[in-house]
Each structure stands twice: as structure tokens, then as C-alpha cells.
Amino acid sequence: MPESEVGELLHQRGWRTAFTVADRVSAWAALVSVVEHGYGDDIYEYTKELSCRNWLHEAWILLDDHNQFHRLPGPDLWWWRRHPRILIGDLGCALRSAGAIGTDPDTAWPSAGREHGPPLEPGWRRPASHPRITGQRAPQMKQPLSARLHDN
């Protein structure tokens, strides 16, 4: 299916609007950028913003421009099993109460430099232990975020 039709089809299937791929890629990039520095909003806003990745997952399956270098995504919705490394604000409190372990925001970015990743705010540097540098994944929680939301 052409990209121009995907948003409309997903809207007909229940998404609140006929998003474009560019809209959802931008939303995902913006969320990743915020999360890298500490997401301070609440768990409900986080899950709402995280849904942009679900839309991209559904759209990818419908797009007809796959080629030998792009494989279809599996059924694994990995972004729901991970959480921000820096736990601040209401989301940080909710995740800590569910057993998440995070990095102290005061020590997460100790000094200046821009050796890896996108530009940071002046005076910040990614430490050598940063997941982008070491290739490590964010700490895993005992129970997926989506399961905890439905338990209440």
C-alpha cells in the first residue's frame, strides 16, 4: 500500500486521525530526545506519546516499499518493555514504585562535550557508561509497562 493511503486506512481502523509516516517519525524522534534527558510528565502522557511507535509498527506492515534491506517487524513491541534511564517527575515515581531502577538525573550528564549522539545542551556530556556509547540496553523491569497499566 502506498504511504499516502496508510494513514487513512489506520484512521479507519481506529486511530484518532489520519497521521502521516513523517508525523509519527517526528513524534517518535521528539519522544526519544526528551526521554534521553529525563521525561518529567506522568505515566498516562508517556503511554499516549509512546503510542506513536505502535502506529509506526502498524504502518510498516502495510507499506509496499519494503525491499531486501528492510524486514517486516516482528510481533515484539519492545518499546513497551523498556523505560527511560533517567527517572524524574511523575513518570519516574510511578516506574520506581513498580520496581524500576534508573540513573540519578544529577549525575547522568556530568560535564561538557559532544562526542556521541545528537547535540546536547551546553555544559552536558554523555558519560562513558552511557548506553549509546556502551551499546547496553536500558534496565529491564520485572513486568512490562503495559501489564502494570492494566493491573490497576
Reported as a single tens digit per residue, the pLDDT across 34-66 is 999 889 899 999 999 999 999 999 998 888 765
In the chain, the number of structural domains is: 1
Per-residue pLDDT at 151: 44
For 87, the 3-state DSSP assignment is strand
Kindly report the pTM of this predicted structure: 0.64
For residues 30 and 72, the model is more confident at 30
Instruction: Determine what percent of the chain falls in helix, strand and coil, rounding each to the nearest 5.
Output: 50, 5, 50
For residues 116 and 44, the model is more confident at 44
Per-residue pLDDT at 12: 96
Instruction: Return d(Cα 6, Cα 8) in angstroms, integer.
Output: 6
Domain enclosing residue 9, as ranges: 3-151
